[in-house]
Chains A and B, each alone.
Chain A
Amino acid sequence: MSQQILNMYSKFGVSEPIFVGRLYGDGHTVEFEVRDPYHPSVDGVTDPVELLVIDSYNESYNQYTKEFVCKENVDGVLSKIKGDLCKIFEQYSSLKNPRQSKLSKWLRWYNGSAATDGMIALYRYAALHSSGGHHEFRFDGGKNNPHVKNIIAILEKMREKHEQ
């Protein structure tokens, strides 16, 4: 569990529990939909991790408290981060079959918490130096891009340190 990501969720609001009714199925069903659904704004947000958290925003209505509750998805966000780092490695590695490498396997199967802060920082670094848009990672110069080399080297160090 990452406290950084959890803290991001605490900044979000939730929808007001006001619903409008709509008839469906020729009058067999009434659906009550949120009148003004809340979704966190991406305006002014530059942190790529926060953008991931906003993408994964979800809430559920609690029938007993009659309020909406934000559903934190820390594992989902971390999974996306690991997935993107893995894709960067597999795309830019000089190995013939990077998917079979120890690093790729480690990234796909790692579910500990010791390396998460490091992965989050590395993700930010990758996003900062990528020429692609949000959630797209492209590095000019390909494998020879110095930032790509840095990312892969750091990932290898992390694997050596945290692999059981």
Chain B
Amino acid sequence: MGVFDDKKFEQLDWVTQMTETIESELNGLLARLPDRLEIDISALHSFVGDSRSLSLSVSSVVRFLIQPYRKEYSLSWDDERRVEKCFRFEMSDDLTLDMRSNTMTGWLHLVKVTPTLDDKELQDMMGRDGLEAIRRMNWNNIPISRMHEIMELLGGCEADMKNRSLRKKTNAIYYRLKNIFRNNEWRIRDTGLANKVGHWIVSYLQDGNLAAFTNFCKLKVMTHNNMPIYSVEEEVL
């Protein structure tokens, strides 16, 4: 096995390999959530508040369903919102709650209306977490040489390399990486991997982490294979 092998790609079925479908752990999580969930009165008691007009939102129920998986999946706020959008309520016309006798007439279900997030939606989310890390990064005192190394690997930043401002260089890195994802220039087809790119960049720029830089370099080399990229043989940070 070479250091530039894409193990994940090799394990994919041929249809996914041909169509370059985006792999995302969100779809894995969605698959584990129920297609239809009946909400009975005891569940309602735990979800609703104590105002005169009680209300129940999809987001509160979905957050409850996701809770057992939080350690397994590192979900951003944005990820959770996307998952919530895949669900809707359905109810019978005669849905009535009698709190005194603790009974419910009719039925209320949470239904998964979108079983998987499609590529268009996933492409839009690509790399967001990592980009956010770059945006939040403290660019003061970052050695210019490291900045230039990253900018050279990203490509398309020649004009900003001449600029002396670290802030502007950071912005150039951010926007260049954002464009790479938006235009699918590097054909990264795994959202988890895409998110790591920004974090590798930050880790190298701020801390000089060579393992992170190595990973980034490997990724860049793999872009020359003219193949979709699902994984990188990562060094441990």
A residues lining the B interface (CB < 8 Å): 16-21, 23, 26-35, 59-64, 66-68
Q: B91, A17: Cβ atoms under 8 Å?
A: no
Kindly specify which of B43-51, B128-136, B168-176, B218-226 makes contact with the partner chain: B43-51
Residue of B52, B55, B58, B89 with most partner-chain A CB within 10 A? B52
Contact B91–A30 (Cβ < 8 Å): yes
A-chain residues with CB within 8 Å of residue B54 when the two chains form the complex = 19, 31-32, 61
A29–B56 contact, CB under 8 A?
yes
Chain B, range 51-68, C-beta contacts under 8 Å to A: 51-59
Q: What CA separation (Å) do A107 and B118 show in the bound complex?
A: 66
Chain B residue contacts of A21, Cβ below 8 A: 91, 95-97, 106, 108
Least distance between B83 CB and chain A CB atoms (Å):
13
Number of interface residues of B (CB under 8 A): 26
Contact in complex: A33, B53 (CB < 8 Å): yes
Given the known A-B contacts A21-B91, A28-B89, A30-B56, are A62 and B98 also in contact in the complex, defined by CB atoms under 8 Å? no
Q: Does B90 contact A (CB under 8 A)?
A: yes
B100 interface residue (CB < 8 Å to A):
yes
The interface bits of chain B over 78-102 (1 if a CB of A lies within 8 angstroms of the residue's CB, else 0) are 0000000000111100011111101
Which residue of chain A has the shortest Cβ distance to B61 in the bound complex? A30
What residues of A have a CB within 8 angstroms of the CB of B50 in the complex?
60-64
Q: Are B51 and A60 in contact, with the CB atoms below 8 A? A: yes
Asked if B52 and A61 sit within 8 Å, CB to CB, the answer is yes
User: Hey, which chain B residues are within 8 Å of A28, CB to CB?
Assistant: 57-59, 88-89
Interface pair B96/A16, CB less than 8 Å apart: no
Complex Cα–Cα for A112 and B55 (A): 40
Q: Can you list 15 A-B contacts (CB < 8 A)? A: A18-B96, A19-B96, A20-B97, A21-B91, A26-B88, A27-B88, A27-B90, A28-B57, A30-B95, A31-B55, A32-B55, A66-B99, A66-B100, A66-B102, A67-B99
Measured in the bound complex, the distance between the Cα atoms of B51 and A59 in whole Å is: 10
Residue contact A60 to B52, C-beta cutoff 8 Å: yes
Residues of A within 8 A of B49 (CB): 63
Question: Shortest distance in angstroms between A123's beta carbon and chain B's nearest beta carbon?
Answer: 29
Give the CA-CA distance A34 to B100 in the complex, in Å.
13
List the A residue with the shortest CB-CB distance to B94: A20
The answer on a CB contact under 8 Å between B88 and A32 is no
Closest to B95 in A: A21
B44 to chain A minimum Cβ distance, whole angstroms, is 8
Q: What are the residues of chain A within 8 A of B90 when measuring CB–CB?
A: 27
Q: Which of chain B's residues has its CB closest to A20's CB?
A: B96
Residue of B nearest to A31 (CB): B55
Instruction: Determine the distance from Cα of A130 to Cα of B55 in the docked complex, in whole angstroms.
Output: 45
Q: How far is the CA of A159 from the CA of B234 in the complex (A)?
A: 83
7 extra interface residue pairs, beta carbon distance < 8 Å, beyond A19-B96, A63-B45: A18-B97, A21-B91, A27-B89, A28-B59, A29-B55, A59-B52, A60-B51
- Chain B residues with Cβ below 8 Å from A67 are 99-100
Give A19 to B90 CA distance when docked, in angstroms. Answer: 17
Assess the A20–B100 pair: CB atoms within 8 A: no
A32 and B96 alpha carbons, distance in the complex (Å): 8
Q: Least Cβ distance of A29 to chain B in Å?
A: 5
With both beta carbons as reference points, the residue of chain A lying nearest to B98 in the complex is identified as A18
Select which of A17, A26, A32, A68 is within 8 A of B48 by beta carbon: A32
Q: What residues of chain A lie closer than 8 Å to B88, measured between beta carbons?
A: 26-28
Chain A residues near B95 (CB, 8 Å)? 20-21, 30
- Nearest CB in chain B: distance from A12 CB, A: 15
CB–CB B58/A35 < 8 A: no
